[in-house]
Amino acid sequence: FTKGPVQNAGYILNAGSEQFIQDCVEKLKTDQAASLLIFPEGTRTAKGELLNEFQRGAANIAIRANVPIRPVLITCTPSTLTKNEKWYHVPSQPFHIHVKVLDAIQVDDLLDDATVSPKNVRHLNHQLQQFFNQELSEK
């Protein structure tokens, strides 16, 4: 326990987008038990919005590492800690966080050709954005 809790959790430092992607892919390829928790929006959602536009990092990592994606939906009712909301603005009633873990999605199921290319990364990112928007709208 000489490391701090963040290092013990296997946190990968974002040392620039390309290096970060390489570090994530290496971790997934060398450690079969590894999992990465990535928030594809890259920031918190503003109050009242469904989702921000996804950044392409998660799609890029999934294609390069050739690993399945396990979608996890996190919702909070009533809303709190959203973007542009002060952390000390506490809701008048207790909030409840709901975490829904869905079945894994194979990259090959979303792409005809899962080779690493900017076009495939954009396409997978778009597919994931649509998937999450549909799941959240059904909630």
The H or E element that residue 13 is part of is none
What is residue 16's predicted lDDT score, i.e. its pLDDT?
80
Could you tell me which of 40, 35, 8, 32 has the C-alpha nearest to residue 24? 35
What six digits make up the tokens of 38? Answer: 């990535």
pLDDT digits (tens), the chain, 139 positions? 567 888 788 888 887 889 999 999 999 999 988 899 999 998 888 888 888 999 999 999 999 999 999 999 998 889 888 888 888 888 899 999 999 999 999 998 888 888 899 999 999 999 999 999 999 888 6
Q: Residue 115 burial (CB < 10 Å; 0-12/13-18/19+)? A: exposed
**pTM, to two decimals:** 0.84
Spatial contact of 70 and 101, defined as CB atoms under 8 Å apart = yes
**CA–CA separation, 64 and 44 (whole Å):** 26
- Could you identify the residue written with the tokens 């076009």? 119
What is residue 32's predicted lDDT score, i.e. its pLDDT?
85
What is residue 2's predicted lDDT score, i.e. its pLDDT?
64
What is residue 110's predicted lDDT score, i.e. its pLDDT?
87
Neighbours of 101 (CB within 10 A): 9
- Could you identify the residue written with the tokens 């392409």? 56
What is residue 13's predicted lDDT score, i.e. its pLDDT?
84
What is residue 139's predicted lDDT score, i.e. its pLDDT?
65
What is residue 54's predicted lDDT score, i.e. its pLDDT?
95
